[in-house]
Structure 1
């Protein structure tokens, strides 16, 4: 506890890594009313997320009113100040970092000194990442392991902040479209990577966390195919490539998700007009 805070805790990294991103420290505090920092500058990146209350943040001559859920960003070499509200002083968590990849990370999440506040960024995942990051240097794991864990939580924090930033920049209709695209991309990736395993639409929907009907509707709108039709196409295209090898029909069938070679042959004939054996013979006629 300090005279300027009703509650204050900070965790310092005693041996920051020399990797792309290095965590310097992380903390959480409840400043007293009208507590002020600055004007001053830092030589590292410092991010605060307001957990409750209000305050004012000033950087580059611009002043921002920040409240619960907002995050404000301090940049190396940029003059800044911030002050807690008189009646409802903010409580905030923070983390500091630097490293050769720090500027690129800021660019990736779309935060700049001209746009240094991300409204509505607080969520359970962000809150948990703050807590876990602060605990990294409390355990006696050694510098290498502590840094490895800390850098992981740092990247998750930046990801959450970047996702909030991106969502804020979308209109409601664009946000809905973006969410739909995300659902479809997840399903496409799942089918592309898991085609060799037994797959059901219900199982895939459950795995991805969506309702079966909702997933099928969005998938059909985006691709023109149902998930199972798309899966069949992936399997058959892969089978075509494998039939050019020396693998047996049974091995090809197993490799594209069919435990029964006869059932695979039936599906392949329906798709291509030829049985796997006939297709392989036709391939070998090609000089």
Structure 2
């Protein structure tokens, strides 16, 4: 028996994707209980809630106490051991995914800096508990996966806030005008398949039409309508690789008249949509 107490919830649906929770648990190891040196084939995050213990990775040793969170990376030799007099208690999550390393880096965690201290770790404990209990009780695998994944991202967000001093340097704060143009660009990028007018966009964003158009062209080199047509035509090129008809492609990029769409496409690329599609196939 290596623990006074241990409880683990396992995700029954562990699809390979950007970030997937594998299992979540909490434990109270016995004094001096040690794991490793060993390798794991996945990531692990532990948050210490009481006592203390010792963690080693990449030839560095750390003493972790209440409020400390340590991250284990796959294929790194690690060992971690409960203190012999005041053994730690902790919650943990195992996870994997092609986006895991990038996401950890975004909150300031790397193999060389695997520790975060959070003074307000009671919030973290509640998230760990919700993940574990949901995995233990939920009978619908897809729902368990969604709930665990969403809660785990919230956990990482809370850890990122506690680790603010090590977050990647933010870019220079945008000016009010840059924010306005950014909003307009996002509006057009998301709404391009809908009937759009500059009046509509200006009202939705709360700007005067003339002012917005002038600033938009200054920052992008195009008027809002030119930018909209650029987005539509680039998306149309992608859709022409599918089995959609020309009429369906036109409608999918917000142009109801297939003949007008073909005229615009030829003007921009020198080929009709049909000729462009034939060239792709050849």
Shared fold (TM-score, shorter chain, > 0.5):
yes
* SS of corresponding position for 2:32: coil
SS of corresponding position for 1:136? helix
8 Å contact 1:121–1:160 — kept in the other structure? Answer: no
Structure 1 residue aligned with 2:206:
238
Distance 1:97 1:122, change over 3 A: farther
User: 1:62 maps to which residue?
Assistant: 60
1:214-250, Cα deviation, whole Å (9 max, x unpaired): xxxxxxxxxxxxxxxxxxxx99x93632999xxxxxx
Alpha-carbon separation, structure 2, partners of 1:242 and 1:145: 48
Alignment gaps of 5+ in structure 1: 171-177, 193-233, 245-287
Number of aligned residues:
185
Provide closer, same or farther for how the CA distance between residues 239 and 84 of structure 1 changes in structure 2, counting only shifts above 3 A. closer
Determine whether 1:148 maps to 2:146. Answer: yes
Counterpart of 1:19?
17
Aligned-pair Cα RMSD in Å: 3.0
The gaps in structure 2 that reach 5 residues or longer are 184-201, 213-282
TM-score in terms of structure 2 length: 0.59
Structure 1 length as normaliser, TM-score? 0.58
CA distance in 2, matches of 1:243, 1:91: 59
**Corresponding position of 2:129:** 131
SS at match of 2:206: helix
Which one of the candidate residues 86, 90, 103 is aligned to 2:88? 90
In structure 2, what is the equivalent of residue 227 of structure 1?
Answer: none
The answer as to 2:42 corresponding to 1:44 is yes
Corresponding residue for residue 115 of structure 1: 113
Partner of 2:104: 106
1:1-287 superposed matches below 5 A: 3-120=1-118, 122-167=120-165, 169=166, 238=206, 240-241=208-209
Q: What CA deviation, in whole Å up to 9, does each residue of 1:139-193 have, x standing for no partner?
A: 23411111111100110111111111114x49xxxxxxx9xx9xxx9xx99xx9x
1:19 Cα deviation from its structure 2 partner: 2.5
